[in-house]
Chain A
């Protein structure tokens, strides 16, 4: 139950995102077997149906593939997962920048602040 999902957004896309991030950051290596639907469901605290849908979506977009009787595996080519990660990073960074800029902080100051707090 440690995935801290946003309750205001649909669950399925969030699971897809999270898995993409894990794959893009190579927390799950290319070609490696994923946790079972049930295990992911327990870890995330969501229904197995949602996880199943997420896996199927990831299969459709070519991030993972299923081997009958064996489970789900990460595709060798992880660029799609990386695309998703990049998209998310861009979104979050832009949102952060917008927030900071609206407080009237210059871009150089922002970089300074990040350097100061990055070790906390």
Chain B
């Protein structure tokens, strides 16, 4: 088991507002981890910093010892919660693009999953239904052989069948050398798939524990505990 992600006193300030406040965190390999918190808690800020889309005000973040940059980008596979791909491209073109830029991308795997869903690879992204678009984006991200997968709200806004598909895909692609960080506020759907959960509130970590330990100690599901911790 090795160290995949480490954050040390990570802080992100916007004027007087602290999006992240002295946040320290360690994620080891082979774990599926939930980053749970209400909107505005700092989940997306943390994720953007991990991916080098934001620079921290103080503190450090390293992926396998390197700061976010050209060394880490080949190791991190990111699924943003927004539509970030060119809509005019076809599924085929996007798969080629990923294959072009990422050495660890496995196009055969991607095509297999796309075929299983009955999606025609010649279709343009903009003609796909919302559910299918989300699935394609997830397939692209999971078809990489990365060290850290970062999924920002992968199951929000999709129907339950798609949700199940997404969760199965995450399980199926499990790799003991890699870790998956899933940021979500839909906890009850996903808590069984998580090894550990991190509760984040006002830019700080309030809890980082295994799911089983939480259930054992508190006698309730993670979802129930979350509601308690984040009660107004």
- Asked if A and B form a direct contact in the complex, defined as CB atoms under 8 angstroms apart, the reply is yes
A interface with B by C-beta (< 8 Å): 1, 5, 7-12, 38, 41-42, 44-50
Q: A48 to B168, alpha carbons, bound, how many Å?
A: 11
* Contact, CB under 8 Å: B192 / A10: no
Given the known A-B contacts A45-B167, A49-B32, are A8 and B224 also in contact in the complex, defined by CB atoms under 8 Å?
yes
Question: Could you say which residues of chain B place their CB within 8 Å of the CB of A41?
Answer: 171, 174
* Contact, CB under 8 Å: B171 / A8: no
Question: Could you say which residues of chain B place their CB within 8 Å of the CB of A45?
Answer: 164, 167-168, 171, 192-193
- The verdict on B92 contacting chain A, using a C-beta distance below 8 Å, is no
* Closest partner residue, chain B, to A53 (CB atom): B212
**B 107-118 binary contact with A (CB < 8 Å = 1; else 0):** 000000000000
Given the known A-B contacts A7-B221, A38-B171, are A47 and B215 also in contact in the complex, defined by CB atoms under 8 Å?
no
* Closest partner residue, chain A, to B219 (CB atom): A8
B interface with A by C-beta (< 8 Å): 30-32, 164, 167-168, 171-172, 174, 188, 191-195, 211-213, 215-216, 219-224
* Contact, CB under 8 Å: A47 / B194: yes
Question: Could you say which residues of chain B place their CB within 8 Å of the CB of A50?
Answer: 195, 212
Q: A50 to B171, alpha carbons, bound, how many Å?
A: 11
CB-contact partner of A11 in B32, B167, B171, B215, under 8 A: B215
* Closest partner residue, chain B, to A3 (CB atom): B192
Given the known A-B contacts A7-B192, A8-B219, A46-B192, are A38 and B172 also in contact in the complex, defined by CB atoms under 8 Å?
yes
* Contact, CB under 8 Å: B193 / A10: no
Q: A49 to B30, alpha carbons, bound, how many Å?
A: 8
- Smallest Cβ distance from A51 to chain B, in angstroms? 9
Beyond the given A7-B188, A7-B192, A10-B211, could you list 18 further A-B residue pairs with CB under 8 A, ordered by the A residue number? A5-B192, A7-B222, A8-B215, A8-B219, A8-B224, A10-B215, A10-B216, A11-B212, A44-B192, A45-B167, A45-B171, A46-B193, A47-B32, A47-B171, A47-B192, A48-B174, A49-B30, A49-B195
